[in-house]
Amino acid sequence: MRVIVGIGAACLASAGGAQTLVSKQAQLSQLGTCLVSQAPALSNKLLRAPFGAPGERDAATTLVRGHRHCIRGYSVSGHTGEIRGAVAEAMFLRQPGLLDTLATRASVPAVRPAEKAGRAFLVGYAKCLVAARPKETVAFLRSPVQTVGEKQAFLGFGDGLKTCMPEGAEYKVDITDLRNHIAAVAYMAVALSDAK
């Protein structure tokens, strides 16, 4: 599912008129932070929507379109999962205790997802990693994006990366995309359990 509001590589004019390339993940991070700041209730609605349901896409569209000023001149065209992940990470920054709560959870045996492709696979894979490796999930989400530290934290999932992979699935790892889904799954897991 895609929410189109205009993200790709964007150039921002600096004070001197020079152009600076801003990564897509940096744009998403800034977008998520702005959306959570400006519309916490709508952000929460998106984060609590069932994955892949029409309500999820509708919540993402309503949130982004209602707060276009958060785009800040970027050309933003993001998948629902990217926007949801960015909003989840922004919520974790705003409420760091949620990640602390996740870090205290016991690991559960990995349950491989049945899905082998598409977003359903990413959500299932993320759910497995978050449940089987909560401490590693927290370390990964606390690592700065697109850094050596992020890659090391990702590799810190260890054998969980294999035990959570569906049998016969082929996945060329996209750390950024997977991070967005892990953030969204982790937020839902902690927020919903806290609401009980």
Q: Rounded to whole angstroms, how far apart are CA atoms 153 and 148?
A: 9
Distances in whole angstroms, Cα of residue 79 to Cα of each of 15, 103, 163, 193: 31, 28, 27, 26
Say if CB 188 and CB 127 are below 8 A apart.
no
**In the predicted model, is pLDDT for residue 48 greater than 80?**
yes
How confident is the model at residue 192, as a pLDDT? 78
| Average pLDDT value over all residues in the chain | 86
pTM (two decimals): 0.86
How confident is the model at residue 11, as a pLDDT? 35
Of 151, 139, 142, nearest to 176 (Cα)?
151
Of 135, 123, 118, 130, nearest to 189 (Cα)?
130
Say if CB 96 and CB 180 are below 8 A apart.
no
**In the predicted model, is pLDDT for residue 35 greater than 80?**
yes
Beta bridge partners of 79: 2
